[in-house]
A and B are shown apart, each in its own frame.
Chain A
Amino acid sequence: MTAAQADAEPRRAAPTVVAGDAIVKTFANGSVTALDRASFDIPKGAFVSLVGPSGCGKSTLLRLIAGLIAPSQGAAIVHGREVTGPRPDIAMMFQKATLLEWRTSLENVLLPTELSGTVTKADRARALDLLNLVGLKDFAFAFPAQLSGGMQQRVALARLLQTGADILLLDEPFGALDEFTREHLNLELLRIVGEFGATTIFVTHNINEAIFLSDQVFVMTPRPGKIAKIVDINLPRPRTLAMQLTPEFNALAEDVRATLGAL
């Protein structure tokens, strides 16, 4: 943790739960460097966005933390233990809702529980609560094809929370949705992860979205993919849409853009 981060806000004093230790990832027998020496510390409960153009390694970094791919060098460390594969304390959500079409919303939300053991009555109650939380109380028995794109992502969000993981990784989760739906879901996402006290890492290519949501923005640049700068976002919480019009917000956006532009 840097000195600048340590004295910012009280929450920054929270212990580190996700850390990167010079993570390198190469593909095609080392000829392509997707991620070059990524090092960072993310405190408990923080909301971090990875922002950058395509090919900057943001999705690669997310998958490394998720344990879906292995680093070529270095390591991702979650809760003090090196990530060597998918773990119960880490859960991921994808750009596509990845719902199973033959299952109702409720059954989709219950999937993580089902895969790790048997489903109890309490699990079902909890899944229904989560559907309620994401505003889909009336759609518990609808099939994915009966839901709009935004509603499908809400089901995916409920499924993410059903895992019980406290590290949430989101890979452009609302990227395929229209602007209005996305804004709305972003606000709900903030409310919900705030309620759960989860640590969230969010991938996006939208600079405003990244600043609006986050405590920290990791600005990433391509060829080779690396974290060019970590921008602290000291806007107060809860965030409101009106904040996007303030000079502070614009200054932050300017900072990120300048970093991305100075390639």
Chain B
Amino acid sequence: MAMSGRIAPSQANPAQPGASLRLRRLANHLGLFLVLLVLWETGSRLGWLDPLFYPRPSAILRSFWLVYFENANIWWHLYVSLGLVLAGFTAGSILGVGLGAVVGLNPLVRRYLQPYVIVLEATPRIAVAPLLIAALGFGAQSKIAIIMLVCFFAPFINTLSGVMNVPAEKLELFRSLRATKWQTLRKLVLPDAVPVIMAGERLALTAALSGVLVAEFIQRDQGIGSLILVYTRNLNMASAFACIFTLTIIGFGIFKGMELLDRWIAFWKHQDGRERVSAARARAHAEEA
């Protein structure tokens, strides 16, 4: 690891299998997957699985076609749900990071807030959903409030601990250099906490997806959650599964997207990020000179 960067070109990890082996493994995975699908399909056609409750892969595939193209009804619900997720996540996580920083930097506030945090941590936050709907009424605002609530906690806790766990010797360095409080915050505490905060944001975005579903299960008006509910009620399980696999894809997108964002923001935690930024800064310096 040491002295990488400009001297040694980054080598391929020796533990990484070769291209042909990887291709073969991928084929094996796909093969296994197909075998499972065929077993499921034939099991259903032979009457071992009730297709009413356990839809066949072929039926699910057809439902994908239906909900996306023939009826094309899923788009609107996706738009509604994802809009709510975005709004609630943004508000909730900004609130979480902001409050986490304030609380983390104030020992007194921290001390007095701690019991409430413990209680809140043990409460299933999503359970507040019916209460919020009752208080704020049906509609987007109560849904956003629910998402905010489930998004708030992980960024809050992570920011709090990130801000508190700055290594003591680095704080001492800043003190010996007579840094102001603001400088210490901006140049040491916040950057140091960024990787932990990003981990919190990742959890929050995942929670936001769950939050919108619960809100829609209860309100049952529109959105992907209510769509799943309606399809299931009508025993159209194949379409319900098409919606759920859509959520799988969205979830995967969130996972990968947050990973990319993390590599971009907390670049120094990843080897490729370090090399990229290091080269870019050297270039900028050379241009300036």
Contact = CB atoms under 8 A, between A and B. Distances in A.
A198 interface: no
Closest 7 pairs between A and B when the two form their complex, measured CB to CB: A148-B2, A141-B282, A146-B5, A143-B274, A92-B176, A102-B268, A98-B173
A175 to B, nearest CB: 13
B250 to A, nearest CB: 31
A90 B176 CA distance: 8
Contacts of B187: 100, 111, 114-115
Interface of A: 66-68, 85-88, 90-92, 94-96, 98, 100-102, 104, 106, 111-112, 114-116, 138-149, 151, 163
B70 interface: no
Contact of A146 (B4, B176, B177, B281): B4
B281 A115 contact: no
Interface string B175-187: 1111110010001
B3 interface: yes
A86 B4 CA distance: 36
B3 A68 contact: no
Contact of B278 (A91, A115, A143): A143
B102 interface: no
B187 to A, nearest CB: 7
B277 A147 contact: no
B277 A143 contact: yes
B3 A86 contact: no
A142 B7 CA distance: 10
Interface of B: 1-7, 167, 169-170, 172-180, 183, 187-188, 191-192, 194, 266-269, 271, 274-275, 277-279, 281-282, 285
13 contacts: A87-B178, A90-B176, A98-B172, A100-B170, A112-B177, A115-B179, A115-B180, A115-B183, A138-B6, A141-B278, A141-B279, A146-B3, A146-B275
B188 A100 contact: yes
Contacts of A91: 176-177
Q: Which DSSP category, helix, strand, loop or mixed, fits chain B's interface?
A: helix
B177 A145 contact: no
A67 B175 CA distance: 9
Contacts of A94: 169, 172-173
Contacts of A147: 2-3
A115 B178 contact: yes
A241 to B, nearest CB: 25
Given A104-B281, A111-B177, A96 B169 contact: yes
B176 A88 contact: no
B7 to A, nearest CB: 8
B268 A143 contact: yes
Contact of B176 (A86, A142, A145): A86
Nearest to B191: A102
Nearest to A88: B178
Given A96-B169, A101-B268, A140-B282, A86 B277 contact: no
Given A115-B178, A146-B5, A98 B170 contact: yes
Given A94-B172, A104-B281, A114-B187, A142 B177 contact: no
Nearest to B174: A115
Contacts of B2: 146-149, 151
Given A90-B176, A94-B173, 13 more contacts: A88-B178, A91-B176, A91-B177, A94-B169, A96-B167, A102-B268, A104-B277, A111-B177, A112-B177, A115-B179, A115-B183, A142-B6, A143-B5
